[in-house]
Amino acid sequence: MNSEIQSNLTVETREWLVKQGYNPQDLNQPGENGDTALMKATKAGISAVVKELIDVGADVNATNNDSNNALWFACFGNHYDLINLLLAAHIDINNQNDNGATVLMYAASAGKVDVLKLLLKHNPNLDLKNLDDFKAIDFASNIEALTILKNATKAGNS
């Protein structure tokens, strides 16, 4: 990132970046496990920093060493506002990590019904399979998740 973009960052965000070990001039710098500042802020649920990083051009589709993008961290943390923010910024909802898993598969396996419902509003590909040849519906860990995914499949939401 150039100094022009850095100058568009608030003092608070620049300080947060430095405190976390990131260079404010390189917003896509990989940190621990390859996590970018956007991923780390998403994981921590810091909406203001996430929004600012997106606004100044951080790569929303960057992936870490496990091939997870920031959407994974929003889903892990049940950060619904950040899920919406990242999806509005055109993050890849169908990103598959190094196991071939998607956030939809993760939400199904964790029984995160509200995350599932939110993701399904953004038309994820229900037919994607992980490396073991399983789809999101195969990971449904409770009846409600299974029902939601069955209904989405019937509706042709893939």
- 63-78: pLDDT as tens digits: 999 999 999 999 999 9
**pLDDT confidence of residue 59:** 98
pTM attached to this predicted model: 0.92
Q: Please give the biggest Cα pair distance in the chain.
A: 51
Question: Distance (Å, rounded) from C-alpha 84 to C-alpha 120?
Answer: 12
Tell me: domain 1-82, CATH 3.40.50.970, correct? no
Range(s) of the chain covered by CATH 1.25.40.20? 1-82, 93-158
Opening angle at CA 125, ends 81 and 104, nearest 5: 45
Name the token pair of 110. Answer: 């964790």
Q: Which two tokens stand for residue 90?
A: 């055109």
Half-sphere exposure of 27 (CA within 13 A, CB side): 26
Distance between CA atoms of residues 105 and 155, nearest Å: 18
Q: Has domain 93-158 been given CATH number 3.60.20.10?
A: no
pLDDT at 1 over 50: no
